[in-house]
Copies of this chain bind each other. A is one copy, B any other.
Amino acid sequence: MARLFHLPLDPFCRRVRLALGEYGAQADLIEERPWEQREGFLAMNRSGLLPVFVDDDKTVAAGIEAVSEYVDETRGGPDNSLLGKSPAERAETRRLIAWFDVKFHHEVSAPVLGEKIVRRHLPKEAGGGAPNMNRVRSGLAHIRAHMEYIGELAESRNWLGGDDITLADLAAAAHLSSLDYLGDVPWRESPAAKSWYQRIKSRPAFRPLLVDKIRGMPPPRTYTDLDF
Q: Name A's B-contacting residues (CB within 8 A).
A: 45-47, 59-67, 69-70, 73-74, 87-88, 90-92, 94-95, 97-99, 102-103, 149
Q: How far is the CA of A110 from the CA of B117 in the complex (A)?
A: 27
A191, chain B: closest CB distance, angstroms: 21
User: Which B residues lie within 8 Å of A102 (CB)?
Assistant: 47, 63
Q: How far is the CA of A88 from the CA of B94 in the complex (A)?
A: 20
A26, chain B: closest CB distance, angstroms: 17
A65 near B97 with CB under 8 A, answer yes
Q: How far is the CA of A90 from the CA of B70 in the complex (A)?
A: 8
Which of B62, B67, B91 contacts A62 (CB under 8 A)?
A: B91
Q: How far is the CA of A192 from the CA of B56 in the complex (A)?
A: 34
User: Which B residues lie within 8 Å of A67 (CB)?
Assistant: 91
User: Which B residues lie within 8 Å of A73 (CB)?
Assistant: 87, 90
B103 near A60 with CB under 8 A, answer no
Q: A46-B149, A62-B95, A63-B102 are in contact. List 5 more A-B contacts (CB 8 A).
A: A46-B99, A47-B102, A60-B91, A63-B99, A66-B94
Q: How far is the CA of A66 from the CA of B66 in the complex (A)?
A: 14
Which of B59, B88, B98 contacts A47 (CB under 8 A)?
A: B98
Which of B59, B66, B94 contacts A65 (CB under 8 A)?
A: B94
